[in-house]
Structure 1
Amino acid sequence: MTAFEDHDAVIPYLLRVEKGEAGPEELAAITTVLLARAAGAADARADETARRERAVARWRRPERAPGFTGPRTWSGARAERG
């Protein structure tokens, strides 16, 4: 008994042709295009997430602090606020 003979069997299909008949070459072509688009979208989301996470430095960089902030200030006495 094959899957086509057993009408009660549930077969998960990746694609389903609603109207007409698609040949094996046409199904292979559309499957390739859809899977390539899905992989490209996932890569684009991963790249966007990585770029967004790299955009902000989360640490202090003392070498970028101004050398002189004023005659009445202590640069080491500032409380860090987060």
Structure 2
Amino acid sequence: MTGTESQAPVLRVVNPDATPEEIAAIVAVFSALGGAAPAARKPVPAWAANAARMRPAHPHGRGGWRSSGLPR
């Protein structure tokens, strides 16, 4: 950006009775929040996914005990 372009203010004080300490406190809070986006989460490999650790539901009804031991 060149020096001739003007930007709109990021923070505008609406209360005319605000003290310099109050303005400094608000600026400190907003600057502590930061403006950077959170880091993207890395994808989990299939071998480490928690869903693989879950057991499938056992079938109900007649013959359910037999099919509970058979691989799908």
Report the TM range for the smaller structure's normalisation. 0.3 to 0.5
| TM-score normalised by length of structure 1 | 0.35
| TM-score normalised by length of structure 2 | 0.38
Indicate the structure with greater helix content: 1
